[in-house]
Structure 1
Amino acid sequence: MFQSEHRQDKSCGRAGSHSLVCEDDRCGSVSRQLSTFDDFRNAITAYRLPRVLIAAIELNLFTAIGTQAWAIPDLARDMKVSERGLAILCRILAMAGLLKKQGEIYRSSRLGATALNARHPAYRGDYLRLITSHWADWGRLPESVKSGLPLDHDELDEPDYRRQFTWAMHHRTLETAPKIAAQIGLRDARTLLDLGGGPGTYAMAFLTKNPSLRATVCDRPAALDVAKEIASTHKAAARLSYLPLDILTEAIPGIYDVIWYSNVLHIYSPQDNQALFRRAFAALNPGGRLLIQDAFLHDREGLFPEEASLFAISMLLFTERGNTYSAAETRAWLTDAGFERIKVLRMKKGTEDWEGGILEARSPETNKKTPVLRTGSVKHLRPRSLS
């Protein structure tokens, strides 16, 4: 999950804490190929409901409603907005299932009253702020198409932003990480490195599933501070350690049975990733496993799945050299680095982060270390994307 260099990172330590790009930019997808003007029009006007949802978040509507029942006049007075505007907004939110309407009275759904309500412990504020910021960012897409550079590329990464982004990535993966960890067998593993692990959400999920495992989360110091806060409330915290590292320029210290590299690949260039694979190879025990979770393209032309294609736009907007890559080209990079037995790990439908999104590669049983090449430092931009 290294926060990406995206300016997700508005980007990452450099490690993948997740691209500061919202991996959930994938929500806007094309359900079929556009062949008529009506298809084209319908695809464009799909912006309407997302904009309604963002407006509700910007107005703190779910926090205002809380767990109470409201008539529109009373709620409008409390929020200091117009009755007409609020009535229309609430009706659409009720249509979408986020509010419950009975006559003239509105209440929040369970989701609205918890994850979207700033007064509730389950509130996911940092992630919501990241999502809403993407509306304006995507509106500036022509700038990046013309320049080939990320938005605001001259802005340096800020520790406070990285902290917020790291919390956002934790909120994003709370449900997904345990589902993934439950399906990846680590019975014979004793040590795991969460490379670019951000908040350590996946590391903690693997520790919970595997009582004999010890894990290390590697990322920038600001991200690791968040990981420590999260782990402090977890029973497995004693088996988790922390490694501050610039993964693009420094060798990985230590030797591990498993390296988990989640939502970091897309932040970097092919050359950066190939160098990083060589470093990972050198840090694995013979027969060790490198597990890569990312938005892989799987068809011959590199167009699908749709989510993976669309996520490349986030990389254009928020990273200097990032992109989404095909499973085939990633497999070739891994082979060149010395890995073998490379395959896609299939997760149960509905549990995966990305469709066909986990590649497994193994170090040979008799591991001959390859030289670790160093690359030049990359300027830390502010990540912004959702990985």
Structure 2
Amino acid sequence: MPVNPNFLERLLLFGLDRAPTPMLDLFGAAGFEAVALASKLGVFDALGERELTLQALADELDASEAGLAPFLAFLDAQRYVAEDGGRYRNTTMTRKWLVSDSETNVAPWLVFWDELVFPFWDEHLETVVREGEPPRTIYEWFDEEPSRWDLAQRGFRAAASVLVDEVSRKVDVPRGATRLLDVGGGHGLYAADLCRRRPGLEATVFDYPEALSVARAEIAESGLGDRMRVRGGDYWSDDLGDGYDIALVFNVIHANDPAENVRLFERVADALAPGGRIVVLDQLEGSASMPVSAAGLRFVGLTYRVTLDAAVHPYRSVADWLTSAGFERVGRTPIRRASPGNALVQATKSA
């Protein structure tokens, strides 16, 4: 919830405990629903860089002025739009984070939570708290309606857009590397960005066939069709190829238990050339220290339990799994930008 209480409100809410602080969660929940709906209706894209009257915006959205007016007033109070003299515009924050032509547009990530994750939560959270595990994973639920995979990958790509610059700068690509494997790469944004930065690099994005539609679009839009390809399959059983110089395993290991991650790292090691590098990106237990990042990491941990019957793993465990799978020189690199608890773990295949 972007609303930042002023000094008096912080004193009453947090210092003196004179007002019901949990009401902020209510406002935040309503704010999330409003922003997700505004994104789906196209409110922020319609405003773009311009100002519109209520009537003009209602006409453009085919919406009711009577319903749109209080909706915009709430978005104004939440600092997503600003009203001045009967005209509405996006705030600077909204133009950066919620407009489609922004490189850091996270609106699809919010829509992903609104349409997929939270409905799954509503159905299974109590069951998980009482019984310890969901009756099925969210991925199994996606399989029942393949369009859910496309929506999910668009959300994952939006989340990655915030991190991709820092992640790409910190990935240790071996000198002279020409072949990259992106295991469970889904949307393909990370592989595409690394290829843009290194003209001699070619990439294969490997994931379930249903998860690759966004990667195909990413490749087409980036103009990297001659250097990138997708391969559909199951990384537990299907051939990953061999002779790669570097392999990405991004946001994959949290879904697996320890034995499964050792097995996955062994399969990746088999696909790498001697001296090849593996790069793991995930949330790691103990990697968040400040209040917002710590809350975010705990939120992620609960989400993994509810949606995947999984958990956030500690760095020491990841390092041990990599060593068991035949990797050496294991090291951790923190990812600090807008990413609670994320880190890169990089290692080299033993010769």
Question: Which category describes the TM-score, using the shorter chain as reference length?
Answer: 0.7 to 0.9
Alpha-carbon distance change, 296 to 310 in structure 1, aligned in 2, over 3 angstroms = same
Note if contact 2:287-2:342 (Cα within 8 Å) is conserved in structure 1. no
Q: 2:207 aligns with which of 219, 222, 238?
A: 219
- Whether 1:328 and 2:316 are equivalent positions in the alignment is yes
One-letter amino acid matched to 1:201? L
CA distance in 1, matches of 2:327, 2:18: 44
Partner of 1:178: 165
Alpha-carbon distance change, 225 to 78 in structure 1, aligned in 2, over 3 angstroms = closer
Note if contact 1:295-1:324 (Cα within 8 Å) is conserved in structure 2. yes
CA distance in 2, matches of 1:121, 1:299: 29
- List per-residue Cα deviations over 1:215-241 (Å, max 9, x = no partner): 111001122233122211223321112
CA distance in 2, matches of 1:162, 1:55: 24
Note if contact 1:221-1:244 (Cα within 8 Å) is conserved in structure 2. yes
Partner of 1:102: 84
Note if contact 1:253-1:283 (Cα within 8 Å) is conserved in structure 2. yes
- List per-residue Cα deviations over 1:337-387 (Å, max 9, x = no partner): 12111110244x42x6443511111111x2xxxxxxxxxxxxxxxxxxxxx
CA distance in 2, matches of 1:202, 1:145: 35
Note if contact 2:206-2:232 (Cα within 8 Å) is conserved in structure 1. yes
Q: 1:69 aligns with which of 49, 52, 56?
A: 52
Is the deviation greater in 259-268 or in 150-159?
150-159
Partner of 1:22: none
CA distance in 2, matches of 1:209, 1:296: 27
Alpha-carbon distance change, 265 to 47 in structure 1, aligned in 2, over 3 angstroms = farther
CA distance in 1, matches of 2:217, 2:312: 31
Structure 1 residue 64: Cα displacement: 8.9
Aligned alpha-carbon RMSD (Å): 3.6
Q: 2:246 aligns with which of 258, 264, 273?
A: 258
Specify the SS of the correspondent of 2:170: coil
One-letter amino acid matched to 2:170? Q
- List per-residue Cα deviations over 1:35-61 (Å, max 9, x = no partner): 999599636733413422312432637
- Whether 1:79 and 2:58 are equivalent positions in the alignment is no
CA distance in 1, matches of 2:333, 2:76: 39
Note if contact 1:305-1:355 (Cα within 8 Å) is conserved in structure 2. yes
Partner of 1:13: none
CA distance in 2, matches of 1:356, 1:221: 27
CA distance in 2, matches of 1:159, 1:279: 27
Give the alignment of 1:272-291 within 5 angstroms.
272-291=260-279
Alpha-carbon distance change, 155 to 102 in structure 1, aligned in 2, over 3 angstroms = closer
Is the deviation greater in 100-109 or in 203-212?
100-109
Structure 1 residue 214: Cα displacement: 1.2
Q: 2:132 aligns with which of 103, 125, 148?
A: 148
Partner of 2:296: 307
- List per-residue Cα deviations over 1:244-285 (Å, max 9, x = no partner): 221123353222111111111111222211211111122222
CA distance in 2, matches of 1:55, 1:310: 21
TM-score (normalised: structure 2)? 0.78
Give the alignment of 1:30-41 within 5 angstroms.
38=17
- Whether 1:131 and 2:149 are equivalent positions in the alignment is no
TM-score (normalised: structure 1)? 0.71
Alpha-carbon distance change, 130 to 328 in structure 1, aligned in 2, over 3 angstroms = same
The gaps in structure 1 that reach 5 residues or longer are 1-34, 367-387
Sequence identity (%): 20
Alpha-carbon distance change, 306 to 49 in structure 1, aligned in 2, over 3 angstroms = closer
The gaps in structure 2 that reach 5 residues or longer are 1-13
Partner of 2:150: 163
CA distance in 1, matches of 2:15, 2:91: 37
CA distance in 2, matches of 1:41, 1:314: 26
Structure 1 residue 108: Cα displacement: 2.7
Specify the SS of the correspondent of 2:331: strand
- Whether 1:55 and 2:42 are equivalent positions in the alignment is no
CA distance in 2, matches of 1:40, 1:342: 49
Is the deviation greater in 200-209 or in 133-142?
133-142
Specify the SS of the correspondent of 2:21: helix
Alpha-carbon distance change, 41 to 311 in structure 1, aligned in 2, over 3 angstroms = farther
Note if contact 1:178-1:206 (Cα within 8 Å) is conserved in structure 2. no
CA distance in 2, matches of 1:356, 1:194: 18
Partner of 1:15: none
- List per-residue Cα deviations over 1:287-323 (Å, max 9, x = no partner): 21111000001279xx98443332121112211x421
Alpha-carbon distance change, 127 to 213 in structure 1, aligned in 2, over 3 angstroms = same
- Larger relative contact order (CA 8 Å, sep ≥ 6): 1
CA distance in 2, matches of 1:52, 1:306: 18
One-letter amino acid matched to 1:160? S
Note if contact 2:51-2:87 (Cα within 8 Å) is conserved in structure 1. no
Partner of 2:345: 359
